[in-house]
Amino acid sequence: MKATELSEALRDCRAGFVTVAVLSGLVNILYLTSSFFMMQVYDRVLPSRSLPTLAGLLVLALGLYAVQGLLDLIRARILARFGAALDHALSERLFDLVVRAPLKGLLPAERLRPLRDLDALRTFLGGMGPIALFDLPWMPAYLAICFLFHPMIGLAAVFGAVVLVGFTIATDRMTARATRAATEHALARNALADAAGRNAEALAAMGMQDGLGARWTQVSQAYRAEQLAVADVAGGFGAASKAFRPALQSGVLALGAFLVIDNQASAGVIIAASILTARAMAPAELAIANWKAFVQARQAWRHLNELCRRIPAVPAPLSLPVPCRTLVAEAVSVAPPGVARLVVQDLSFRVTAGQGLGIIGPSASGKSTLARALVGIWPCLRGRVQLDGASLDQWTSTTLGRHVGYLPQEVDLFSGTVAQNIARFQPEIQAEAVIEAAQAAGVHEMIVALPKGYETPLGESGAGLSAGQRQRIGLARALFGRPFLVVLDEPNANLDAEGEAALTQAILGVRARGGICIVVAHRPSALAAVDLVLIMAGGQAQAFGPKDTVLKRAIQPIGTPLRHPAAAAQAMASAATAQQGGGR
């Protein structure tokens, strides 16, 4: 299986992991200082009553403790920088996942999950969990030294290690299901909160807050229950391990005392064995204490890997010439991400430079789905969309975006200035291009009338502007950079008469400079500046051609029936849509 970007990022840290492993070995060797110091004090200093020996041992021990502390600090800092390096290596890729995940049909609640997963990995790498994992392999070495002191002490230490390892395995198995369930409930709660925030006005106006609040309470209770289950299990085993460790240490002390009384060991072995046994158990106890973070990091790792495989990075293709001639839809069939049913079926048409196409039809006829396919938002399941003979998948999103302007039905602006929003947040804003786009959209005068003109800051989603103002600024954004293909999905939904006149001029301007403009019509006034019309119904093309001819043909059943009654009924429905306006 091909390695993901996450695996490659960690592979780049191999030298650092080797360094941490070496440092962990040195630190664990130095952990023996206290055991051997106490043994020497009891076996050498006390019997000989030699103060110089005691002073020498103390100076040596303090020096070793200082080196141990320094190495431990270096190890902790290296691990903390692993998390920062991982964040740096994956930040752009994760932003790409966050942007593209909704286009692949992922639930809204999962949109920000990659960022939370990365936070979980970074937090784990910078915490005590990895230190416990690097120290665990040294448990056998400590146990071997315990056997050197006396086989019975070694057996007692092995018994303690088996009990703590059992605690670790039990913690993992008993928290796995609850941790997964808690994650699912957290996603559901986040989705509910996001939906409530986006529809706060509807909730307040129609008294829906209590009803939605009840759902929130239900999901939150389930989330808390699973979280408590995880905390109870992990806390229970953690408490048991904390109680077991001093009990084992006391037991080893008693065992050492017995061995001394029975003349099977020296007095120094009592303290040294007790300290060494406690040290041998420390990595397992630390692992249990950090098991929740370890499980979360493991789940985050699996989810990020799976997401990277489901949404692979798009390689940079060969740069193509700027499109300037045609837009062709060839037997296009499209379904929204995650939906098995085709919404657009086998639709074909051709538009050349300088033409404008109006797409009309009843609600749920596939107009907006087709618009998304034309700009490359949703891929074609069958067929293809071509610009100058090249299918859209031959461009990356960034390169295609330079040649495409898109105005969705629901215009969301971003937190930033008006100029930044129009300029599509390019790093270097060219004032001339911004003003040209605003003038082409007929919104320049409206913008300069704002408190700070083009530098007026906007809140999230364009807070502070009316729906009509947001739509007109969104139109300017679509026209920025003089794109060859401009697709407008119901662009006059929130416009007044002045705004509709500006829209008509904007469409004519695109056509005059040799571009192609596609308009999904909501009201018939949007068709004023187009010369072609596509009538859709049931996801299929019912008619396509010059505007006057198609609309005349559609209205014909009103006075002269068509040859087939079903065709006449469909034509009358299309005509009504053209005259009164349709939905999506």
What's 228's domain CATH number?
Answer: 1.20.1560.10
Q: Is residue 231 part of a domain?
A: yes
Q: Is residue 194 part of a domain?
A: yes
| Domain extent at residue 246 | 5-310
Q: Is residue 113 part of a domain?
A: yes
Integer Cα distance of 571 and 360 in angstroms: 12
Integer Cα distance of 502 and 495 in angstroms: 10
SS3 533: strand
Residue 371: give its domain's CATH number.
3.40.50.300
One domain, residues 26 and 161: yes
Identify the residue whose tokens are 């431990």: 72
One domain, residues 214 and 360: no
Final residue belonging to a domain, choices 254, 279, 310: 310
One domain, residues 25 and 140: yes
Final residue belonging to a domain, choices 260, 280, 310: 310
Q: Is residue 574 part of a domain?
A: no
Chain mean position to CA 13: 23
Integer Cα distance of 27 and 188 in angstroms: 44
One domain, residues 234 and 347: no
Identify the residue whose tokens are 């006059």: 492
One domain, residues 330 and 281: no
Residues in the chain: 584
Final residue belonging to a domain, choices 285, 310, 335: 310
- CA neighbours within 13 Å on the CB side: how many for 343? 21
**Stated pTM of the model:** 0.68
Q: Is residue 518 part of a domain?
A: yes
SS3 366: coil
One domain, residues 468 and 424: yes
Identify the residue whose tokens are 């001339």: 432
Q: Is residue 178 part of a domain?
A: yes
One domain, residues 331 and 301: no
| Angle between helices 151-198 and 209-261 in degrees, nearest 10 | 170
One domain, residues 187 and 56: yes
Residue 383 Ramachandran class (φ > 0 left, ψ -120 to 50 alpha, else beta): left
SS3 314: coil
pLDDT at residue 107, rounded to an integer: 53
Q: Is residue 570 part of a domain?
A: no
One domain, residues 227 and 339: no
Low-confidence ranges of the chain (pLDDT < 50): 1, 557-584
One domain, residues 392 and 248: no
One domain, residues 296 and 366: no
Q: Is residue 569 part of a domain?
A: no
Burial 227-263 (b: 16+ CB within 10 A, else e): bebbbebbeebbebbeebbeebbebbbebbeebbeee
Number of domains in the chain: 2
One domain, residues 302 and 346: no
